[in-house]
Chain A
Amino acid sequence: MLAIEINNLTKKFKEKKAINSINLTIDEGELFALLGTNGAGKTTTIKILSTLILPTSGKVKIAGLDIIKDRQEIKKILNVSPQETAIAPNLSVKENLEFMAGVYQIKNKEKKINELIEMFKLEEVLKQKAKTLSGGWQRRVSIAISLINEPKILFLDEPTLGLDVIARKELWNIIKKLKGKITIILTTHYMEEAESLSDRIGIMSKGNLVDVGTSEELINKSGTKNFEDAFIKIATGGEL
Protein backbone atom coordinates (compact mmCIF):
# COMPACT_ATOMS: atom_id res chain seq x y z
CA MET A 1 0.00 0.00 0.00
CA LEU A 2 1.10 3.54 -0.69
CA ALA A 3 1.92 5.74 2.31
CA ILE A 4 2.35 8.90 0.27
CA GLU A 5 1.11 9.75 -3.21
CA ILE A 6 2.13 13.08 -4.73
CA ASN A 7 0.79 14.30 -8.08
CA ASN A 8 2.03 17.53 -9.71
CA LEU A 9 2.67 19.18 -6.36
CA THR A 10 3.58 22.86 -6.72
CA LYS A 11 4.18 25.49 -4.07
CA LYS A 12 4.63 29.16 -4.89
CA PHE A 13 5.64 31.90 -2.47
CA LYS A 14 4.34 34.99 -4.27
CA GLU A 15 5.86 34.56 -7.73
CA LYS A 16 8.72 32.28 -6.67
CA LYS A 17 8.21 28.54 -7.21
CA ALA A 18 9.62 26.67 -4.19
CA ILE A 19 8.39 23.32 -5.52
CA ASN A 20 7.74 22.70 -9.17
CA SER A 21 5.24 19.99 -10.14
CA ILE A 22 6.63 17.07 -8.14
CA ASN A 23 5.40 13.50 -8.67
CA LEU A 24 6.35 10.81 -6.19
CA THR A 25 5.03 7.73 -4.43
CA ILE A 26 6.39 6.29 -1.20
CA ASP A 27 5.49 2.79 -0.01
CA GLU A 28 4.29 1.89 3.46
CA GLY A 29 7.25 1.04 5.70
CA GLU A 30 9.78 2.59 3.32
CA LEU A 31 12.58 4.87 4.51
CA PHE A 32 12.82 7.58 1.90
CA ALA A 33 15.60 10.18 1.99
CA LEU A 34 15.17 13.58 0.42
CA LEU A 35 18.48 15.13 -0.58
CA GLY A 36 19.22 18.52 -2.05
CA THR A 37 21.27 21.63 -1.75
CA ASN A 38 20.11 24.56 0.42
CA GLY A 39 16.89 26.02 -1.00
CA ALA A 40 16.20 22.94 -3.12
CA GLY A 41 12.68 22.63 -1.69
CA LYS A 42 13.14 19.71 0.74
CA THR A 43 11.84 21.48 3.84
CA THR A 44 8.90 23.03 1.92
CA THR A 45 7.97 19.55 0.66
CA ILE A 46 8.12 18.15 4.19
CA LYS A 47 6.02 21.05 5.50
CA ILE A 48 3.29 20.40 2.92
CA LEU A 49 3.32 16.64 3.53
CA SER A 50 3.14 17.18 7.28
CA THR A 51 0.10 19.55 6.96
CA LEU A 52 1.97 22.65 8.13
CA ILE A 53 1.41 24.59 4.89
CA LEU A 54 -0.97 24.21 1.99
CA PRO A 55 0.14 23.41 -1.56
CA THR A 56 -0.51 25.95 -4.33
CA SER A 57 -1.65 23.18 -6.68
CA GLY A 58 -1.45 19.44 -7.13
CA LYS A 59 -2.79 16.43 -5.23
CA VAL A 60 -1.28 14.79 -2.15
CA LYS A 61 -2.62 11.70 -0.45
CA ILE A 62 -1.32 10.46 2.89
CA ALA A 63 -2.37 6.89 3.67
CA GLY A 64 -5.16 7.35 1.15
CA LEU A 65 -6.41 10.56 2.78
CA ASP A 66 -6.51 13.92 0.98
CA ILE A 67 -4.04 16.46 2.44
CA ILE A 68 -6.57 19.31 2.23
CA LYS A 69 -9.94 17.68 2.89
CA ASP A 70 -8.80 15.17 5.53
CA ARG A 71 -6.25 17.40 7.26
CA GLN A 72 -7.41 16.68 10.84
CA GLU A 73 -7.46 12.90 10.25
CA ILE A 74 -3.97 13.01 8.71
CA LYS A 75 -2.60 14.92 11.72
CA LYS A 76 -3.43 11.91 13.91
CA ILE A 77 -1.32 9.47 11.89
CA LEU A 78 1.86 11.44 11.29
CA ASN A 79 4.49 13.19 13.34
CA VAL A 80 7.67 15.13 12.80
CA SER A 81 11.02 15.70 14.44
CA PRO A 82 11.91 19.21 13.23
CA GLN A 83 15.41 20.56 12.46
CA GLU A 84 15.44 22.43 15.76
CA THR A 85 14.79 19.93 18.54
CA ALA A 86 11.34 21.40 19.37
CA ILE A 87 11.19 20.30 22.99
CA ALA A 88 10.02 22.33 25.99
CA PRO A 89 13.32 23.56 27.53
CA ASN A 90 12.25 23.92 31.18
CA LEU A 91 10.43 20.60 31.33
CA SER A 92 12.16 17.36 32.22
CA VAL A 93 12.43 14.59 29.64
CA LYS A 94 9.55 12.70 31.32
CA GLU A 95 7.42 15.85 31.42
CA ASN A 96 8.08 16.47 27.73
CA LEU A 97 6.84 12.97 26.93
CA GLU A 98 3.78 13.44 29.17
CA PHE A 99 3.05 16.84 27.61
CA MET A 100 3.06 15.49 24.06
CA ALA A 101 1.03 12.44 25.16
CA GLY A 102 -1.54 14.97 26.40
CA VAL A 103 -1.47 16.86 23.10
CA TYR A 104 -2.32 13.64 21.23
CA GLN A 105 -4.73 12.47 23.97
CA ILE A 106 -2.96 9.10 24.22
CA LYS A 107 -5.17 6.67 26.14
CA ASN A 108 -2.53 4.29 27.50
CA LYS A 109 -0.22 7.16 28.32
CA GLU A 110 2.03 5.57 30.96
CA LYS A 111 2.50 2.36 28.98
CA LYS A 112 3.42 4.26 25.81
CA ILE A 113 5.84 6.56 27.66
CA ASN A 114 7.56 3.59 29.33
CA GLU A 115 7.93 1.89 25.94
CA LEU A 116 9.65 4.97 24.54
CA ILE A 117 11.87 5.36 27.60
CA GLU A 118 13.03 1.79 27.12
CA MET A 119 13.41 2.02 23.36
CA PHE A 120 15.45 5.23 23.46
CA LYS A 121 17.25 4.35 26.73
CA LEU A 122 16.09 7.60 28.34
CA GLU A 123 16.11 6.32 31.93
CA GLU A 124 19.34 8.15 32.89
CA VAL A 125 18.10 11.57 31.71
CA LEU A 126 14.43 11.22 32.60
CA LYS A 127 14.41 13.82 35.37
CA GLN A 128 16.81 16.18 33.65
CA LYS A 129 15.51 19.46 32.21
CA ALA A 130 15.56 19.29 28.39
CA LYS A 131 17.64 22.46 28.06
CA THR A 132 20.50 20.88 30.04
CA LEU A 133 20.83 17.88 27.71
CA SER A 134 23.57 17.58 25.10
CA GLY A 135 22.68 18.01 21.42
CA GLY A 136 22.67 14.24 20.87
CA TRP A 137 20.33 13.58 23.78
CA GLN A 138 18.01 16.41 22.70
CA ARG A 139 17.68 14.86 19.23
CA ARG A 140 17.05 11.47 20.78
CA VAL A 141 14.30 12.92 22.99
CA SER A 142 12.90 14.82 20.00
CA ILE A 143 12.56 11.61 17.98
CA ALA A 144 11.13 9.74 21.00
CA ILE A 145 8.49 12.47 21.41
CA SER A 146 7.57 12.24 17.75
CA LEU A 147 6.69 8.56 18.21
CA ILE A 148 4.25 9.24 21.06
CA ASN A 149 1.16 8.93 18.83
CA GLU A 150 2.48 5.77 17.10
CA PRO A 151 2.57 7.59 13.74
CA LYS A 152 2.24 5.68 10.49
CA ILE A 153 4.45 8.29 8.84
CA LEU A 154 7.37 10.05 10.50
CA PHE A 155 9.24 13.04 9.09
CA LEU A 156 12.81 13.49 10.28
CA ASP A 157 14.15 16.88 9.20
CA GLU A 158 17.97 16.83 9.36
CA PRO A 159 17.97 14.58 12.45
CA THR A 160 21.74 14.45 12.90
CA LEU A 161 22.66 18.02 11.95
CA GLY A 162 25.50 19.31 14.11
CA LEU A 163 26.01 16.08 16.05
CA ASP A 164 29.38 14.44 16.67
CA VAL A 165 30.21 11.11 15.03
CA ILE A 166 29.24 8.96 18.01
CA ALA A 167 25.93 10.73 18.65
CA ARG A 168 25.18 10.46 14.92
CA LYS A 169 25.90 6.71 14.88
CA GLU A 170 23.68 6.23 17.95
CA LEU A 171 20.82 8.01 16.20
CA TRP A 172 21.37 5.98 13.04
CA ASN A 173 20.95 2.82 15.11
CA ILE A 174 17.68 4.14 16.51
CA ILE A 175 16.42 5.06 13.02
CA LYS A 176 17.45 1.59 11.73
CA LYS A 177 15.36 -0.01 14.50
CA LEU A 178 12.31 1.94 13.29
CA LYS A 179 12.89 0.94 9.68
CA GLY A 180 10.12 -1.21 8.22
CA LYS A 181 7.78 -0.55 11.14
CA ILE A 182 6.72 2.90 10.00
CA THR A 183 7.20 5.01 6.88
CA ILE A 184 10.05 7.48 7.39
CA ILE A 185 10.84 10.49 5.26
CA LEU A 186 14.24 11.86 6.09
CA THR A 187 15.91 15.03 4.89
CA THR A 188 19.65 15.31 5.26
CA HIS A 189 22.77 16.97 3.96
CA TYR A 190 24.93 13.98 4.80
CA MET A 191 25.40 11.64 1.82
CA GLU A 192 26.54 8.70 3.93
CA GLU A 193 23.44 9.08 6.10
CA ALA A 194 21.10 8.82 3.12
CA GLU A 195 23.12 5.97 1.65
CA SER A 196 23.34 3.99 4.87
CA LEU A 197 19.76 4.41 6.10
CA SER A 198 17.37 4.75 3.20
CA ASP A 199 15.61 2.34 0.86
CA ARG A 200 15.32 5.01 -1.83
CA ILE A 201 16.65 8.51 -2.27
CA GLY A 202 15.06 11.49 -4.02
CA ILE A 203 17.32 14.30 -5.18
CA MET A 204 15.86 17.80 -5.31
CA SER A 205 17.29 20.82 -7.05
CA LYS A 206 15.76 24.28 -7.49
CA GLY A 207 12.29 23.03 -6.55
CA ASN A 208 12.39 20.01 -8.89
CA LEU A 209 12.62 16.35 -7.95
CA VAL A 210 15.34 15.54 -10.46
CA ASP A 211 15.87 11.84 -9.75
CA VAL A 212 14.70 9.01 -7.54
CA GLY A 213 16.23 5.59 -6.91
CA THR A 214 18.33 3.45 -4.61
CA SER A 215 21.88 4.71 -4.01
CA GLU A 216 23.24 2.01 -6.38
CA GLU A 217 20.75 2.97 -9.09
CA LEU A 218 21.69 6.63 -8.81
CA ILE A 219 25.41 5.85 -8.94
CA ASN A 220 24.91 3.65 -12.01
CA LYS A 221 22.64 6.16 -13.75
CA SER A 222 25.07 9.02 -13.24
CA GLY A 223 28.09 6.93 -14.22
CA THR A 224 30.07 7.98 -11.17
CA LYS A 225 32.17 6.01 -8.71
CA ASN A 226 30.46 6.91 -5.47
CA PHE A 227 27.22 8.34 -4.17
CA GLU A 228 28.58 11.80 -3.34
CA ASP A 229 29.74 12.27 -6.94
CA ALA A 230 26.41 10.92 -8.17
CA PHE A 231 24.53 13.43 -6.04
CA ILE A 232 26.68 16.35 -7.25
CA LYS A 233 26.25 15.33 -10.88
CA ILE A 234 22.48 14.87 -10.59
CA ALA A 235 21.84 17.97 -8.45
CA THR A 236 23.87 20.28 -10.67
CA GLY A 237 22.84 18.69 -13.96
CA GLY A 238 26.45 17.72 -14.59
CA GLU A 239 27.75 21.31 -14.36
CA LEU A 240 30.28 20.41 -11.65
Chain B
Amino acid sequence: MRTLNFAIRNFKEIIRDPLSIVFSILLPMFLLFVFQQINIPNENYELKNFTPGIIIFGFSFITLFTAMLISKDRTTSLLVRLGISPMKPIEYILGYILSIIPIILIQNLLFFILAIILGLSFSINIVWSILISLLIAILFISIGIIIGSIFTEKSSSGISSIIVQLVCFTSGMYFPKELLGNTFSKICEILPFESCVTIIKGIMNNNIEIINTKNIITFLIYSIIFLIISVWIFKRKMISDNK
Protein backbone atom coordinates (compact mmCIF):
# COMPACT_ATOMS: atom_id res chain seq x y z
CA MET B 1 0.00 0.00 0.00
CA ARG B 2 2.86 2.36 0.81
CA THR B 3 4.36 1.65 -2.60
CA LEU B 4 1.08 2.44 -4.35
CA ASN B 5 0.61 5.59 -2.27
CA PHE B 6 4.12 6.73 -3.27
CA ALA B 7 3.52 5.78 -6.92
CA ILE B 8 0.31 7.87 -7.04
CA ARG B 9 2.18 10.86 -5.64
CA ASN B 10 4.98 10.43 -8.21
CA PHE B 11 2.49 10.10 -11.05
CA LYS B 12 0.77 13.36 -10.02
CA GLU B 13 4.13 15.14 -9.76
CA ILE B 14 5.14 14.10 -13.29
CA ILE B 15 1.80 14.59 -15.01
CA ARG B 16 1.32 18.07 -13.53
CA ASP B 17 4.48 19.29 -15.17
CA PRO B 18 3.25 20.32 -18.66
CA LEU B 19 6.75 19.99 -20.11
CA SER B 20 6.72 16.26 -19.40
CA ILE B 21 3.60 15.84 -21.55
CA VAL B 22 5.03 17.99 -24.35
CA PHE B 23 8.31 16.09 -24.51
CA SER B 24 7.28 12.54 -23.75
CA ILE B 25 4.03 12.45 -25.74
CA LEU B 26 3.52 15.42 -28.05
CA LEU B 27 7.06 15.65 -29.47
CA PRO B 28 7.28 11.98 -30.51
CA MET B 29 3.74 12.21 -31.97
CA PHE B 30 4.73 15.32 -33.87
CA LEU B 31 7.80 13.53 -35.30
CA LEU B 32 5.73 10.50 -36.24
CA PHE B 33 3.25 12.72 -38.04
CA VAL B 34 5.79 14.95 -39.79
CA PHE B 35 8.00 12.12 -41.08
CA GLN B 36 4.93 10.47 -42.62
CA GLN B 37 4.09 13.67 -44.51
CA ILE B 38 7.51 13.79 -46.15
CA ASN B 39 8.04 11.07 -48.65
CA ILE B 40 11.48 9.88 -47.58
CA PRO B 41 12.69 7.04 -49.81
CA ASN B 42 14.03 4.98 -46.91
CA GLU B 43 12.34 1.98 -45.32
CA ASN B 44 13.30 3.28 -41.85
CA TYR B 45 10.52 5.84 -42.19
CA GLU B 46 7.79 3.36 -43.11
CA LEU B 47 5.19 3.26 -40.30
CA LYS B 48 5.96 -0.36 -39.44
CA ASN B 49 9.61 0.54 -38.83
CA PHE B 50 9.37 4.12 -37.57
CA THR B 51 6.64 3.58 -34.93
CA PRO B 52 8.81 1.24 -32.78
CA GLY B 53 11.61 3.84 -32.97
CA ILE B 54 9.20 6.54 -31.80
CA ILE B 55 8.16 4.36 -28.82
CA ILE B 56 11.78 3.97 -27.68
CA PHE B 57 12.43 7.67 -28.38
CA GLY B 58 9.47 8.47 -26.08
CA PHE B 59 11.02 6.25 -23.40
CA SER B 60 14.22 8.32 -23.42
CA PHE B 61 12.11 11.17 -21.99
CA ILE B 62 10.90 8.79 -19.28
CA THR B 63 14.57 8.60 -18.23
CA LEU B 64 14.61 12.41 -18.11
CA PHE B 65 11.50 12.73 -15.93
CA THR B 66 12.48 9.94 -13.56
CA ALA B 67 15.91 11.55 -13.10
CA MET B 68 14.40 14.99 -12.50
CA LEU B 69 11.79 13.72 -10.06
CA ILE B 70 14.35 11.88 -7.94
CA SER B 71 16.90 14.70 -7.96
CA LYS B 72 14.11 17.13 -6.99
CA ASP B 73 13.01 14.84 -4.14
CA ARG B 74 16.62 14.84 -2.93
CA THR B 75 16.99 18.63 -3.19
CA THR B 76 13.73 19.41 -1.39
CA SER B 77 14.55 16.92 1.40
CA LEU B 78 11.36 14.99 0.73
CA LEU B 79 13.52 11.88 0.74
CA VAL B 80 14.79 12.88 4.20
CA ARG B 81 11.21 12.99 5.45
CA LEU B 82 10.48 9.65 3.83
CA GLY B 83 13.79 8.21 5.09
CA ILE B 84 12.59 8.79 8.64
CA SER B 85 9.25 7.13 7.90
CA PRO B 86 8.76 3.34 7.96
CA MET B 87 9.13 3.19 4.12
CA LYS B 88 11.79 0.76 2.88
CA PRO B 89 14.19 1.44 -0.05
CA ILE B 90 12.56 -1.22 -2.24
CA GLU B 91 9.19 0.56 -1.75
CA TYR B 92 10.72 3.77 -3.14
CA ILE B 93 12.13 2.03 -6.22
CA LEU B 94 8.86 0.18 -6.91
CA GLY B 95 6.96 3.42 -6.29
CA TYR B 96 9.04 5.23 -8.90
CA ILE B 97 8.67 2.38 -11.42
CA LEU B 98 4.90 1.94 -10.88
CA SER B 99 4.24 5.67 -11.27
CA ILE B 100 5.74 5.62 -14.77
CA ILE B 101 3.66 2.68 -16.04
CA PRO B 102 0.44 4.70 -16.66
CA ILE B 103 2.50 7.29 -18.54
CA ILE B 104 4.02 4.55 -20.72
CA LEU B 105 0.56 3.14 -21.44
CA ILE B 106 -0.75 6.60 -22.37
CA GLN B 107 2.30 7.17 -24.60
CA ASN B 108 1.94 3.82 -26.35
CA LEU B 109 -1.81 4.13 -26.86
CA LEU B 110 -1.53 7.60 -28.37
CA PHE B 111 1.44 6.65 -30.57
CA PHE B 112 -0.38 3.61 -31.95
CA ILE B 113 -3.68 5.49 -32.42
CA LEU B 114 -1.81 8.10 -34.47
CA ALA B 115 0.10 5.42 -36.39
CA ILE B 116 -3.19 3.64 -37.20
CA ILE B 117 -4.74 6.94 -38.34
CA LEU B 118 -1.68 7.43 -40.56
CA GLY B 119 -2.09 4.00 -42.11
CA LEU B 120 -0.66 1.29 -39.82
CA SER B 121 -2.89 -1.78 -39.82
CA PHE B 122 -4.25 -2.82 -36.45
CA SER B 123 -3.38 -6.28 -35.22
CA ILE B 124 -3.20 -8.09 -31.88
CA ASN B 125 0.59 -7.74 -32.16
CA ILE B 126 0.21 -4.08 -31.23
CA VAL B 127 -1.18 -5.19 -27.85
CA TRP B 128 1.77 -7.58 -27.41
CA SER B 129 4.27 -4.89 -28.28
CA ILE B 130 2.65 -2.56 -25.70
CA LEU B 131 3.06 -5.26 -23.04
CA ILE B 132 6.70 -5.96 -24.00
CA SER B 133 7.41 -2.22 -24.07
CA LEU B 134 6.47 -2.10 -20.37
CA LEU B 135 9.40 -4.44 -19.70
CA ILE B 136 11.70 -2.39 -21.90
CA ALA B 137 10.66 0.76 -20.02
CA ILE B 138 12.19 -0.65 -16.82
CA LEU B 139 15.63 -0.16 -18.43
CA PHE B 140 14.89 3.53 -19.10
CA ILE B 141 13.41 4.06 -15.62
CA SER B 142 16.49 2.43 -14.05
CA ILE B 143 18.80 4.76 -15.99
CA GLY B 144 16.65 7.67 -14.74
CA ILE B 145 16.92 6.49 -11.13
CA ILE B 146 20.72 6.26 -11.46
CA ILE B 147 21.03 9.76 -12.97
CA GLY B 148 18.59 11.30 -10.47
CA SER B 149 20.38 9.66 -7.53
CA ILE B 150 23.81 10.93 -8.57
CA PHE B 151 23.23 14.36 -10.06
CA THR B 152 21.53 17.57 -8.97
CA GLU B 153 18.21 18.68 -10.42
CA LYS B 154 19.90 21.00 -12.92
CA SER B 155 22.53 18.59 -14.17
CA SER B 156 20.06 15.66 -14.27
CA SER B 157 18.24 17.19 -17.23
CA GLY B 158 21.51 17.75 -19.11
CA ILE B 159 22.82 14.25 -18.46
CA SER B 160 19.46 12.70 -19.38
CA SER B 161 19.44 14.53 -22.69
CA ILE B 162 22.56 12.49 -23.57
CA ILE B 163 20.31 9.40 -23.36
CA VAL B 164 17.79 11.11 -25.66
CA GLN B 165 20.60 11.76 -28.18
CA LEU B 166 22.00 8.24 -27.83
CA VAL B 167 18.57 6.80 -28.60
CA CYS B 168 18.27 9.03 -31.69
CA PHE B 169 21.68 8.12 -33.07
CA THR B 170 22.23 4.52 -32.01
CA SER B 171 18.75 2.96 -32.08
CA GLY B 172 18.61 2.91 -35.88
CA MET B 173 15.29 4.77 -35.84
CA TYR B 174 16.44 7.50 -38.23
CA PHE B 175 19.09 5.74 -40.31
CA PRO B 176 20.67 2.28 -40.62
CA LYS B 177 23.74 1.96 -38.39
CA GLU B 178 25.89 0.74 -41.32
CA LEU B 179 25.69 4.21 -42.89
CA LEU B 180 28.27 5.60 -40.44
CA GLY B 181 30.82 2.80 -40.71
CA ASN B 182 32.02 -0.21 -38.75
CA THR B 183 32.98 1.51 -35.48
CA PHE B 184 29.61 3.25 -35.20
CA SER B 185 27.88 -0.02 -36.05
CA LYS B 186 29.75 -1.77 -33.24
CA ILE B 187 28.76 0.99 -30.76
CA CYS B 188 25.12 0.58 -31.77
CA GLU B 189 25.36 -3.15 -31.18
CA ILE B 190 27.02 -2.72 -27.79
CA LEU B 191 24.43 -0.20 -26.57
CA PRO B 192 20.92 -1.54 -25.81
CA PHE B 193 18.80 0.94 -27.77
CA GLU B 194 18.95 -0.74 -31.18
CA SER B 195 18.03 -4.06 -29.55
CA CYS B 196 15.03 -2.39 -27.85
CA VAL B 197 13.76 -1.03 -31.18
CA THR B 198 14.35 -4.38 -32.92
CA ILE B 199 12.41 -6.29 -30.24
CA ILE B 200 9.38 -3.96 -30.54
CA LYS B 201 9.66 -3.97 -34.34
CA GLY B 202 9.74 -7.79 -34.49
CA ILE B 203 6.74 -8.22 -32.19
CA MET B 204 4.67 -5.41 -33.71
CA ASN B 205 5.15 -6.64 -37.27
CA ASN B 206 4.82 -10.34 -36.38
CA ASN B 207 8.33 -10.77 -37.72
CA ILE B 208 10.04 -12.47 -34.78
CA GLU B 209 12.88 -13.67 -37.04
CA ILE B 210 14.53 -10.22 -36.99
CA ILE B 211 14.98 -10.50 -33.19
CA ASN B 212 18.18 -12.47 -32.64
CA THR B 213 19.56 -13.91 -29.41
CA LYS B 214 22.10 -11.08 -29.23
CA ASN B 215 19.25 -8.52 -29.11
CA ILE B 216 17.54 -10.35 -26.26
CA ILE B 217 20.76 -10.91 -24.30
CA THR B 218 21.92 -7.30 -24.77
CA PHE B 219 18.55 -5.98 -23.57
CA LEU B 220 18.36 -8.38 -20.61
CA ILE B 221 21.94 -7.76 -19.46
CA TYR B 222 21.52 -3.97 -19.55
CA SER B 223 18.10 -4.09 -17.86
CA ILE B 224 19.18 -6.40 -15.03
CA ILE B 225 22.50 -4.62 -14.43
CA PHE B 226 20.97 -1.13 -14.54
CA LEU B 227 18.10 -2.15 -12.23
CA ILE B 228 20.54 -3.60 -9.68
CA ILE B 229 22.82 -0.54 -9.95
CA SER B 230 19.83 1.81 -9.57
CA VAL B 231 18.68 0.13 -6.32
CA TRP B 232 22.26 0.10 -4.99
CA ILE B 233 23.04 3.74 -5.89
CA PHE B 234 19.67 5.00 -4.65
CA LYS B 235 20.18 3.32 -1.26
CA ARG B 236 23.75 4.60 -0.99
CA LYS B 237 22.77 8.14 -1.97
CA MET B 238 19.88 8.19 0.51
CA ILE B 239 22.42 7.49 3.24
CA SER B 240 25.23 9.72 1.96
CA ASP B 241 22.88 12.69 1.30
CA ASN B 242 22.08 12.60 4.98
CA LYS B 243 25.67 12.62 6.20
Give the interface of A toward B (CB within 8 A): 13, 47, 50-53, 72, 75-76, 78-80, 82-91, 95, 99-100, 102-105, 129, 145-146, 149
Contact = CB atoms under 8 A, between A and B. Distances in A.
A160 to B, nearest CB: 16
Interface string B68-95: 0000100111101111111100000000
B234 to A, nearest CB: 15
Contact of B80 (A82, A99, A129): A82
B5 A80 contact: no
Nearest to B80: A82
B242 interface: yes
Contacts of B9: 88, 91, 95, 99
Nearest to A81: B81
B6 A103 contact: yes
Given A52-B242, A75-B84, A99-B5, 6 more contacts: A50-B84, A76-B86, A99-B8, A100-B85, A102-B2, A105-B2
A88 B13 CA distance: 8
Contacts of A129: 16
B12 interface: yes
A119 B171 CA distance: 56
Contacts of B13: 88-91
Contacts of B2: 102-103, 105
Contacts of B34: none
Interface of B: 1-2, 5-6, 8-9, 12-13, 16-17, 72, 75-78, 80-87, 239, 242-243
The B interface, classified by DSSP as helix, strand, loop or mixed, is helix
A213 to B, nearest CB: 29
Given A52-B242, A103-B2, A79 B77 contact: no
Contacts of A100: 81, 85
A50 B8 CA distance: 26
B84 A78 contact: yes
A202 B85 CA distance: 26
A220 to B, nearest CB: 37
B9 to A, nearest CB: 5
A82 B82 CA distance: 11
A90 B8 CA distance: 12
A214 B43 CA distance: 80
In this complex, the member of A76, A83, A89, A95 whose beta carbon has the largest number of chain B beta carbons within 10 angstroms is A89
B72 to A, nearest CB: 7
Contacts of B80: 52, 80, 82, 84, 86
A129 B9 CA distance: 13
A30 B1 CA distance: 34
A230 to B, nearest CB: 31
A84 B1 contact: no
B17 A90 contact: yes
Contacts of A82: 77, 80-81
Nearest to A146: B81
A112 to B, nearest CB: 15
A95 B6 CA distance: 12
